[in-house]
Structure 1
Amino acid sequence: MNARQLVQGMLKAWPVDPRDRLPLPLWFSHDIEVATGGVSSHHFQAAGVEMDSRDVRPGDLFVALKGEAMDGHKFLPQAFAAGAVAAITDRPVDFPHVLVENTTAALHALAHAARERGNAKRIAVTGSVGKTGVKEAIFNALDRASRGGAHRSVRSYNNHVGVPLSLARLPARARYGVFEMGMNHAGEIAPLTDHVRPHVALITTIAPAHIENLGSMEAIADEKAQIFTGLVEGGAAIIPADSEYAGRLIDHARRLGVEVVTFGRNEAADVRLLDAIPAANGGSLVTAELGDARLCYTIAEPGEHWVANSLGVLAAVRAAGGDLAAAGLALAEMGGLKGRGARLQIAVSGGKALLVDESYNANPASMRATLRQLGQTPALRRIAVLGSMKELGDFADRFHRQLAEPLAEAKIDHAILVGDEMRALAAELGKDGAKSLGIAPSFAHCKGPAEAIAALEHFGLTHGDAVLVKGSNSVGLGGLVTHFTNASG
Structure 2
Amino acid sequence: MKTEFHYSLNSVRKILTPNSFPDWSEDFTFENIVTSSMEADEKSLFVPLQGVRDGHDFIQDALNKGTKFFLCKKNHPVLKKFKSSDKSKAILVDDTLNSLGKLANFHRKRFTPLLIAITGSSGKTTTKELLGHFLSKIGSENLVITEKNYNNEIGLPFTLFRINEKTKIAVCELGMNHLKEIERLSDIAEPDISVITSIGSAHIEHLGSLKNIAEAKSEILNGMKKDGIVFVHSNLPFQKTIQQKAKLKNVFIKTIQPKNKKILTIVQKKETGFLLKVFSKKVEWNILGEKSIENLNLVLNVLNEIHFPKKEILSQIQSFKNPEKRFIIEKNIYTVINDTYNANPESMISSLDSSIQLSGKKNLYAVLGDMKELGKFSKIYHTKIGRVFKDNKIKGLITFGKDSKYISQEFIKYNKNQLCKHFDDSTDSINAILSYIQDHIPKKSILLVKGSRSMKMERITEALSNLNF
Query: Could you state the TM-score of these two structures normalised by the residue count of structure 2?
Result: 0.82
- Aligned partner (choices 354, 360, 376) of residue 341 of structure 2: 360
Q: In structure 2, what is the equivalent of residue 66 of structure 1?
A: 49
* Aligned residue identity for 1:214: L
Deviation at 1:149, TM superposition (A): 1.3
- Aligned partner (choices 434, 446, 450) of residue 466 of structure 1: 446
Q: In structure 1, what is the equivalent of residue 75 of structure 2?
A: none
Q: Matches of 1:61 and 1:389 in 2, distance apart?
A: 40
1:239/1:162 Cα in 2 relative to 1: closer, same or farther (>3 Å)? same
Instruction: Confirm or deny: 8 A CA contact 2:342 2:450 kept in the other structure.
Output: yes
Select between 69-78 and 211-220 the one with higher mean Cα deviation.
69-78
1:330/1:26 Cα in 2 relative to 1: closer, same or farther (>3 Å)? farther
Residue 218 of structure 2 is aligned to residue 217 of structure 1: no
* Aligned residue identity for 1:423: K
Instruction: Confirm or deny: 8 A CA contact 2:5 2:30 kept in the other structure.
Output: no
Q: In structure 1, what is the equivalent of residue 384 of structure 2?
A: 402
Q: In structure 1, what is the equivalent of residue 118 of structure 2?
A: 125
Q: In structure 2, what is the equivalent of residue 444 of structure 1?
A: 422
Within 5 A, what are the aligned runs for 1:307-346? 307-345=293-331
1:272/1:365 Cα in 2 relative to 1: closer, same or farther (>3 Å)? farther
Q: In structure 2, what is the equivalent of residue 7 of structure 1?
A: none
1:326/1:452 Cα in 2 relative to 1: closer, same or farther (>3 Å)? farther
Q: Matches of 1:176 and 1:187 in 2, distance apart?
A: 26
Instruction: Confirm or deny: 8 A CA contact 2:124 2:173 kept in the other structure.
Output: yes
Partner of 1:377, secondary structure, is helix
Q: In structure 2, what is the equivalent of residue 100 of structure 1?
A: 91
> What do the CA deviations read for 1:436-477 (whole angstroms, capped 9, x no partner)?
4x4x54333332465134313332276533222211112221
> What do the CA deviations read for 1:65-84 (whole angstroms, capped 9, x no partner)?
23154233444687799x99
Instruction: Confirm or deny: 8 A CA contact 1:141 1:329 kept in the other structure.
Output: no
1:201/1:106 Cα in 2 relative to 1: closer, same or farther (>3 Å)? same
Q: Matches of 1:407 and 1:79 in 2, distance apart?
A: 55
Instruction: Confirm or deny: 8 A CA contact 1:145 1:326 kept in the other structure.
Output: no
Instruction: Confirm or deny: 8 A CA contact 1:50 1:165 kept in the other structure.
Output: no
Select between 30-39 and 334-343 the one with higher mean Cα deviation.
30-39
Q: In structure 2, what is the equivalent of residue 457 of structure 1?
A: 435
Residue 399 of structure 2 is aligned to residue 417 of structure 1: yes
Gaps of 5+ in 1: 1-23
Q: In structure 1, what is the equivalent of residue 229 of structure 2?
A: 236
> What do the CA deviations read for 1:301-323 (whole angstroms, capped 9, x no partner)?
22110011001111223334534
Q: In structure 1, what is the equivalent of residue 457 of structure 2?
A: 477
Instruction: Confirm or deny: 8 A CA contact 1:225 1:252 kept in the other structure.
Output: yes
* Aligned residue identity for 2:424: C
Instruction: Confirm or deny: 8 A CA contact 1:28 1:44 kept in the other structure.
Output: yes
Partner of 2:364, secondary structure, is strand
Instruction: Confirm or deny: 8 A CA contact 2:434 2:463 kept in the other structure.
Output: no
Instruction: Confirm or deny: 8 A CA contact 1:160 1:192 kept in the other structure.
Output: yes
Q: Matches of 2:58 and 2:338 in 1, distance apart?
A: 33
For the aligned residue pairs, the C-alpha RMSD in angstroms reads 3.5
Instruction: Confirm or deny: 8 A CA contact 1:63 1:107 kept in the other structure.
Output: no
Instruction: Confirm or deny: 8 A CA contact 1:383 1:465 kept in the other structure.
Output: yes
1:470/1:111 Cα in 2 relative to 1: closer, same or farther (>3 Å)? same
Deviation at 1:226, TM superposition (A): 1.5
Q: Matches of 1:99 and 1:329 in 2, distance apart?
A: 52
Instruction: Confirm or deny: 8 A CA contact 2:259 2:265 kept in the other structure.
Output: no
Instruction: Confirm or deny: 8 A CA contact 1:145 1:323 kept in the other structure.
Output: no
Q: Matches of 1:147 and 1:166 in 2, distance apart?
A: 14
> What do the CA deviations read for 1:10-68 (whole angstroms, capped 9, x no partner)?
xxxxxxxxxxxxxx96524456565446978854533xx443457x4999946432315
1:332/1:246 Cα in 2 relative to 1: closer, same or farther (>3 Å)? farther
Instruction: Confirm or deny: 8 A CA contact 1:118 1:173 kept in the other structure.
Output: no
* Aligned residue identity for 1:479: R
* Aligned residue identity for 1:27: H
Deviation at 1:115, TM superposition (A): 0.5
Partner of 1:362, secondary structure, is coil
* Aligned residue identity for 1:287: K
Q: Matches of 1:276 and 1:252 in 2, distance apart?
A: 36
**Count, aligned residues:** 445
* Aligned residue identity for 1:357: N
1:25/1:241 Cα in 2 relative to 1: closer, same or farther (>3 Å)? same
Instruction: Confirm or deny: 8 A CA contact 2:4 2:161 kept in the other structure.
Output: no
Q: In structure 2, what is the equivalent of residue 141 of structure 1?
A: 134
Q: Matches of 1:240 and 1:453 in 2, distance apart?
A: 43
Q: In structure 1, what is the equivalent of residue 199 of structure 2?
A: 206
Instruction: Confirm or deny: 8 A CA contact 1:122 1:199 kept in the other structure.
Output: yes
Within 5 A, what are the aligned runs for 1:111-190? 111-146=104-139, 148-190=141-183
Select between 458-467 and 117-126 the one with higher mean Cα deviation.
458-467
Q: Matches of 1:203 and 1:355 in 2, distance apart?
A: 31
Query: Could you state the TM-score of these two structures normalised by the residue count of structure 1?
Result: 0.79
1:114/1:272 Cα in 2 relative to 1: closer, same or farther (>3 Å)? same
Select between 85-94 and 223-232 the one with higher mean Cα deviation.
85-94
Q: Matches of 2:134 and 2:43 in 1, distance apart?
A: 27
1:296/1:113 Cα in 2 relative to 1: closer, same or farther (>3 Å)? farther
Residue 266 of structure 2 is aligned to residue 275 of structure 1: yes
Instruction: Confirm or deny: 8 A CA contact 1:181 1:189 kept in the other structure.
Output: yes
Q: Matches of 1:86 and 1:469 in 2, distance apart?
A: 49
* Aligned residue identity for 1:394: K
Gaps of 5+ in 2: 73-78
Partner of 2:294, secondary structure, is helix
Partner of 1:421, secondary structure, is coil
